[in-house]
Structure 1
Amino acid sequence: MRILITGAAGFVGQLLAERLLNEGHRLLLTDVIEPPIPSAAKNRENAKTVKADLYEEAAKVADEDLEAAFIFHGIMSAGSEANFELGYRVNVQSTFRILDELRKACPGVRVIYASSCAIYGRPFREWPSEVTVPTPESSYGCQKIICENLINDYNRRGLINAFSLRFPTISVRPGKPTQAASSFMSGIIREPLQGKDSELPVEDDFQAWLCSPRTLVTNLVHTLTLPADALPPHIRQVNLPGITASVADMLKALEEVGGKDSLKHIKRTKDPSIEEMLNSWGVRYDVSKALSLGYKADESFKQAVEDFADTLK
């Protein structure tokens, strides 16, 4: 398939690009910086990169031969809260512009949109499903809902063939800390396993809904195979599977994989602004729809830690 990935310089875009190139797909990778072609990928000649600001230049990457598009670009949760204008420009207006260019250039193209479980807020922290009314408590969650509704309308009208996937928090993320409020959930594993300090802004009983990068990529690729009528034409959202882990669970996994000395790199801090946002997010979700569609869940958080540790060898 000929596939577009926006936000392709990000870690999810890079992991997915490597997987798709290894499977023989042809890719168009775009971001506001020149996105790299994953160095470990096979068939690297099948990838083309385009530097583009989708707010201004969406037409540059809306090729008529595209068969699918993964929409990953965005400003993360804490970043969207800190900069209201930029969050809406990137997360909403740029998304509208690329969708509009895609529906004109390649009608019916499969669009896989990276939404988030941040669309839910209090009082729905336990077992919300796709029929639960979204109550986001952040600009980021509001922006995702706006785009989900836009995508539902485009799909209903037959302009695109779309799926909006509500991601759990992805951990363990490689690379550097991000502007996500959940960034510490990777940091308290990633940095200590490399002998570096990491700040922990919440208590050990804090719980989160998590998915490993490996399982996420498997589920993203699976979405390419779903029939267009797998969901109603006007309801294209799916809560992706995850697992619930407390900070205590995360630190236990860190100790089991990295040894007791790794815990010395955890520096406990308090950040009330981050904590308030995190406490509005759900901790357990109804993912029966996703499981019925063939999406997979992680077996344990420890496996995600082991996956990351393997990349350091």
Structure 2
Amino acid sequence: MKILITGAGGFIGQFLARKLLEDPSHTLVLTDVIECPIPKGSANPKNATVVKADLLADQSVITSDLNAIYMFHGIMSAGSEANFDLGLKVNLEATKILLETIRQRCPGIRVIFSSSQAVYGRPFPDTITEDVFPTPEGSYGAQKLMCEILINDMTRKGYIDGLSLRFPTISVRPGKPTAAASSFISGIIREPLEGKECVVPVKDRSFPSWVCSPKTLINNLVHALTLPRDCLPSHKRTVNAPGLLATVQDMMDALAKVGGEDKLKYIKEVDDEDLGKILYSWAWKFDNKLALGLGYKPDTSFEQAVRDYVEFMDEQKALAQV
């Protein structure tokens, strides 16, 4: 398959590209507004092409020979809230332009859109299912929801074969902290393991998050390529990706178990009123029956997610020395 990944410079795009390049039959086009690399350690790096492009102005990466597209471009939650106009341009307008271009140049192909649990707002029922009506409390969730609806309608019309996967908070993310309100959920592990401080913007250690490891998310994104067109109704193409519940205390316990008790000294707990408004507006208990029925897989534990991260970082350090 020839597959395009937008926002390919981000860690999810890089992880996915590396996974897809394990299959020598795949060719990839990786695009981002910045220069993005072909992931280190890729099995078939020659099968990937990198294109730097601003998708609002340049849609040349949409070609008639594409078989599938993953849409990962976007401005994260806190960034979208702080800059409403930029969030609209990148998260909504760029997606709309790309979908219209796909309709014209390569109609009917599989489009996998990265949505978010941020589409849900309070009051929450005891458990979130796909039948719960989404009422986002932030600009990021609102923009994601608008894209979901457009993808549903364009799939119903036969213009694309769309699937929207609502991501849990992904942890543990490698790299630097992001503009996401949830950034600390990776930072609480990543920074202390490197001997750096992480600021946790809530003092309540029982604060819950619905999370998923990068490894599990990538496997589920690859699985989405294989689902038949009729796996869901043509006008309901959204699925809550499997996750698991982890509190701040759970995360600290996993850090201590994997990295050592001494790493806990790098965690600074504060009450950030602005970030708290976003964080407390997110749901944290989901019924993933639909996703599991479609063959998506859940994580086993947050501790395992931390161990996966340590293994990945060790591998990256080894590759850097080659």
User: What is the TM-score when the length of structure 1 is the normalising length?
Assistant: 0.98
| CA distance in 2 between partners of 1:125 and 1:136 (Å) | 14
Deviation at 1:125, TM superposition (A): 5.7
| CA distance in 1 between partners of 2:179 and 2:161 (Å) | 30
Q: Which residues of 2 match residues 153-232 of structure 1 at below 5 A?
A: 153-202=153-202, 203-232=204-233
In structure 1, the partner of 2:245 is 244
Q: In structure 1, give the amino acid aligned to 2:192.
A: P
| CA distance in 1 between partners of 2:126 and 2:53 (Å) | 39
| CA distance in 2 between partners of 1:269 and 1:295 (Å) | 36
| CA distance in 2 between partners of 1:64 and 1:50 (Å) | 16
Contact 1:114 1:167 in 2 (8 A): yes
Find the residue that maps to 2:43 and give its secondary structure: coil
| CA distance in 2 between partners of 1:20 and 1:311 (Å) | 17
Deviations 1:161-181 (CA, angstroms, capped at 9, x unpaired): 010000000000000000000
In structure 1, the partner of 2:261 is 260
Deviations 1:53-99 (CA, angstroms, capped at 9, x unpaired): 111112x1101100000000000000000000000000000000111
| CA distance in 2 between partners of 1:265 and 1:104 (Å) | 52
Contact 1:240 1:287 in 2 (8 A): yes
Shifted more, 264-273 versus 223-232: the winner is 264-273
- Structure 2: segments with no counterpart, 5+ residues: 315-322
1:290 aligns with 2:288: no
Contact 1:172 1:212 in 2 (8 A): yes
In structure 2, the partner of 1:152 is 152
Deviation at 1:311, TM superposition (A): 2.3
| CA distance in 1 between partners of 2:124 and 2:265 (Å) | 35
Deviation beyond 2 Å, 4+ runs, structure 1: none
In structure 1, the partner of 2:318 is none
In structure 2, the partner of 1:52 is 53
In structure 1, the partner of 2:111 is 111
Q: In structure 2, give the amino acid aligned to 1:134.
A: P
In structure 2, the partner of 1:30 is 31
Find the residue that maps to 1:112 and give its secondary structure: strand
How many residues align? The count is: 312
Shifted more, 212-221 versus 99-108: the winner is 99-108
In structure 2, the partner of 1:234 is 235
1:62 aligns with 2:62: yes
Deviations 1:94-122 (CA, angstroms, capped at 9, x unpaired): 00011111111111110000000000010
Q: In structure 2, give the amino acid aligned to 1:194.
A: E
Q: In structure 1, give the amino acid aligned to 2:7.
A: G
- The Cα RMSD (Å) is 0.8
In structure 1, the partner of 2:320 is none
Contact 1:211 1:242 in 2 (8 A): yes
In structure 2, the partner of 1:16 is 16
Deviations 1:262-303 (CA, angstroms, capped at 9, x unpaired): 001111222111111111101111111000000000010000
Deviation at 1:126, TM superposition (A): 3.4
| CA distance in 2 between partners of 1:105 and 1:34 (Å) | 25
In structure 1, the partner of 2:319 is none
Q: In structure 1, give the amino acid aligned to 2:183.
A: S
- Specify whether residues 127 and 106 from structure 1 end up closer, same or farther in structure 2 by C-alpha distance, changes over 3 A only: same
Contact 1:125 1:280 in 2 (8 A): no
Find the residue that maps to 2:307 and give its secondary structure: helix
Percent same amino acid at aligned positions?
57
| CA distance in 2 between partners of 1:45 and 1:103 (Å) | 29
Shifted more, 189-198 versus 67-76: the winner is 189-198
| CA distance in 2 between partners of 1:160 and 1:307 (Å) | 35
User: What is the TM-score when the length of structure 2 is the normalising length?
Assistant: 0.96
